[in-house]
């Protein structure tokens, strides 16, 4: 297992277009998180999944954002009608699961989105 | 709501010296974990050290140690014998068992001076 992988690494899109990002977590990790990181800031929580169930969505996640995790494996994050303010690094992380020592999150390298 | 505050946007240290990065947090929960993550330029974020709130003993990992003051809600990271490879953004993060998500501070950029 090579860790959390994200695809693509970079995406440039025109304003108004739709984009989709993919995250493959570490196998057997039940938890999957999406974060957004803008320049000079720490990652901001967007949403997370326990297996295939989406348990929480941040208020930052407008109706243009949707995330899925079919079958509890990989996840996709789609942004519809992109805006320049969506330009950021989108980070995915996974962790083994609930409680105890299983809270460590392993991060992917991120997808950098630029909306022009 | 939970918050994490890192008041030092940038720090620098001479190679082989010791540096301390500050972090304060706020949460109403009693059960939580605290983390320091390192994010090298253009590379993924990796865990440096973890502290369970119920443990009084400060965590250590080789050259990295923390000073956890629960009552003061303070969680600083000490890096001893700084190395060039330590140069990175360092993020303090809080994992709250109530909402089960990581909340990050704004980060401290650490520069190592050869």
Q: Classify A23 as helix, strand or coil.
A: strand
Mean predicted lDDT score pLDDT of chain B = 94
Selection from B82, B97, B62, B71 nearest residue B21 by Cα = B82
Chain B environment of A110 (Cβ under 8 Å):
44
Looking at residues A5-10, what average pLDDT do you find? 96
Confidence grade of residue A98 (pLDDT, cut at 50, 70, 90): low
Query: Distance (Å) from the C-alpha of residue B48 to the closest C-alpha of chain A?
Result: 11
Question: Percent helix, strand and coil across chain A, each rounded to 5?
Answer: 5, 50, 45
Looking at residues A78-106, what average pLDDT do you find? 86
pLDDT score, position A11: 97
Q: Which of B46, B50, B106 sits opposite A42 (nearest CB)?
A: B106
d(CA A57, CA B59): 32
Residue A30 forms contact with B (CB below 8 Å): no
pLDDT score, position A1: 54
pLDDT in tens, A12-35: 999 999 999 999 999 889 999 999
pLDDT in tens, B11-53: 999 999 999 999 999 998 888 999 999 999 878 899 999 999 9
Confidence grade of residue A99 (pLDDT, cut at 50, 70, 90): low
Looking at residues A82-104, what average pLDDT do you find? 84
Chain B environment of A55 (Cβ under 8 Å):
100
pLDDT score, position A66: 95
pLDDT in tens, A40-89: 889 999 999 999 999 888 887 889 999 999 988 999 999 999 999 999 99
- The answer to whether the CB of B30 falls within 8 A of the CB of B92 is no
pLDDT score, position B97: 80
**DSSP-assigned letter for residue A16:** T
Optimal mutation site among B32, B37, B40, B44, interface A, most CBs of chain A within 10 A: B44
pLDDT score, position B8: 96
pLDDT score, position A100: 52
**Cβ–Cβ gap B45/A107 under 8 Å:** yes
Task: Decide if pLDDT at B88 tops 60.
Answer: yes
């Amino acid at each position: 297992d090579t860790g959390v992988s994200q695809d693509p690494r970079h995406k440039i899109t025109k304003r108004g277009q739709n984009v989709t990002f993919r995250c493959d977590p570490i196998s057997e990790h039940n938890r999957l998180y999406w974060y957004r990181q803008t320049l000079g800031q720490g990652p901001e929580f967007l949403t997370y999944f326990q297996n295939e169930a989406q348990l929480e969505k941040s208020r930052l996640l407008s109706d243009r954002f949707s995330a899925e995790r079919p079958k509890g494996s990989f996840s996709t994050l789609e942004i519809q009608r992109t805006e320049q303010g969506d330009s950021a690094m989108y980070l995915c992380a996974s962790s083994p699961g609930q409680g105890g020592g299983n809270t460590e999150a392993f991060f992917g390298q991120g997808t950098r989105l630029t909306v022009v | 709501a939970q918050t994490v505050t890192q008041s030092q946007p940038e720090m620098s240290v001479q190679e082989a010296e010791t540096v301390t990065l500050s972090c304060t947090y706020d949460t109403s929960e009693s059960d939580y974990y605290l983390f320091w993550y390192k994010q090298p330029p253009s590379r993924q974020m990796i865990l440096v050290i973890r502290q369970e709130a119920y443990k009084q003993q400060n965590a250590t990992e080789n050259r990295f140690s923390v000073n956890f003051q629960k009552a003061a809600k303070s969680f600083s990271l000490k890096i001893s014998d700084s190395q060039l490879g330590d140069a990175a953004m360092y993020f303090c993060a809080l994992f709250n068992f109530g909402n089960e998500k990581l909340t990050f501070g704004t980060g401290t950029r650490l520069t190592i001076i050869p």
